Chains A and B, each alone.
Chain A
Amino acid sequence: MNYSQVEIWLIIALMAIGTFAIRFSFLGLIGSKRMVPVIERMLRFTPVAVLPGMVAPLVLWPTDAADGVTLLHLAAACAAVGTAYLTRKVIWGMLAGLGVFFAPVVFALL
């Protein structure tokens, strides 16, 4: 890494300001004013539109996975989604996913 101390602090400060501006943007500008209805409808889909796409590459192409491990990632992801979907409870999905994912490690320890 070849940055001066000032440059490193500059990167941190500008990232902090930029990130806050992004996060505050609509909350700050729009406040309680109503948005265009179609935009509001689109925004209701934000979580199901952003998070699956964010996670999909991590499930299919986990960076530090050795050969053959991918099936385990996929199985754990399916267990998490399926259980959480059917039970409608985040915690059961979490436990199912973790259970599948860490089962081989646990069995290896036994």
Chain B
Amino acid sequence: MRSTERSAFGTGVVDVLPFIVMVVPFATLFGVVAIEAGLSLAQTLSFSILVIAGASQFAALQLMLDNAAIGFILAAALAVNLRMAMYSAALAPHLGAAPLLQRAFIGYLNFDHSYVLAVAKYEDQPDMPLPSRVAYFLGVSLTIAPLWCLFTYIGAEIGVWIPANWEVSFVLPLAFLSTVAPMLKSPAHIAAAVVSILLALALAGLPSGSGLLIAALCAMITGVLVETLLERKA
């Protein structure tokens, strides 16, 4: 790694630090819940290492506790992860020129935090060379992924005591909101966010994340429409 890439990697590590506050309790909780549900230590760890997608892991676990059919578990858990196909598409213009093996590794590490921080960075610094973009992405994801696995293990092995009234899980929405707010840089972005919120709430009853997918798609279309309208006016 050259020094510019090393510093991009380092910036990624620093940028992701606030997210650790939420990954640690979330991963620990998964470890505790998975063991309680009856998974072995090896299965619990494999889940976190191979899948690395908290929400879908919790969804699968919940359905397994309900003894749902395997096909349904897979469909529901993967539907929760479908938003990552959008992440993949959004990252492609920035990272698509990287070699196939690097792209495969980036794909494996393409989750909410790495995606959102990386895209925010690439939009902020459009001139960033490709190797630095890859290094930044890996700085973020290679900080958080091992912690995700480590704290799943800690949760599974020893369990933790968190006072019930602390409700640590709410740190998760706060982290995502703080990340997205600075990205609201035009009326079109704000309109997209408002549509996303309203439709996601209205469609919250739909099974396993499909409401969110519809809401996100409508929000993206709204963003483009508002942007186009404003450009015409200007």
Chain B: which residue is nearest A39 at the CB level? B89
Interface centre among A43, A54, A57, A102 (most CB of B within 10 A): A54
| Complex-state Cα separation, A7 to B129, whole angstroms | 45
Check A19/B53 contact, CB under 8 A, given A1-B64, A7-B70, A52-B193: yes
* Alpha-carbon distance A101/B175, docked complex (angstroms): 12
Interface centre among B52, B92, B175, B183 (most CB of A within 10 A): B92
Distance in Å from the Cβ of B176 to the closest Cβ of chain A?
Answer: 5
Q: How far is the CA of A24 from the CA of B192 in the complex (A)?
A: 25
Do A16 and B51 form a contact, CB below 8 Å, given A11-B70, A22-B88, A45-B219?
A: yes
A46 surroundings in chain B (CB, below 8 A):
86-87, 89-90, 119, 216, 220
Q: Chain A 28-40 against B: per-residue CB contact (8 Å), 1 yes, 0 no?
A: 1011111100111
> What are 13 of the A-B contact pairs (CB < 8 Å)?
A11-B64, A12-B43, A12-B47, A24-B110, A26-B88, A26-B91, A27-B88, A51-B179, A56-B201, A77-B177, A85-B181, A91-B18, A94-B175
> A53 to B216, Cβ gap below 8 A?
yes
- Interface residues of chain B, those whose CB is within 8 Å of chain A, are 15, 18, 21, 37-40, 43, 46-47, 50-53, 56, 60, 64-65, 67, 70, 73-74, 77-78, 81-93, 95-97, 100, 103-104, 106-108, 110-112, 115-116, 119-120, 123, 165-167, 169-184, 188-190, 192-197, 199-201, 204, 212, 215-217, 219-221, 223-224, 227
Contact yes or no, B78 A53, CB < 8 A = no
The listed residue with most A CB atoms (<10 A of its CB), out of B65, B85, B95, B123, is B85
Contacts of B21 in A (CB 8 A): 94, 98
A54 adjacent to B183 (CB under 8 Å): no
Partner of A8, one of B43, B106, B177: B43
Interface size class of A (residues with CB under 8 A): 35 or more
CA distance A60 to B197 in the complex (A): 11
Partner of A43, one of B15, B37, B53, B90: B90
Tell me, yes or no, whether A68 is within 8 Å of chain B by CB: no
- In angstroms, Cα B211 to Cα A56, docked, is 12
Quick one: which of B38, B77, B212 contacts A54, CB cutoff 8 A?
B212
CB < 8 Å neighbour of B170 from A30, A47, A54, A62: A62
Verify B212–A53 contact, CB threshold 8 A: yes
Across the interface, which residues of A come within 8 angstroms of B112, CB to CB? 51
Residues facing B in A1-27 (CB within 8 A) are: 1-3, 5, 7-16, 18-20, 22-27
For the complex, what is the distance from the CA of A70 to the CA of B110, rounded to whole Å?
32
A12 CB, nearest partner CB in chain B, Å:
5
> A residues within 8 A CB of B201?
56-57, 60
Would you call B178 and A90 a contact (CB within 8 A)? yes
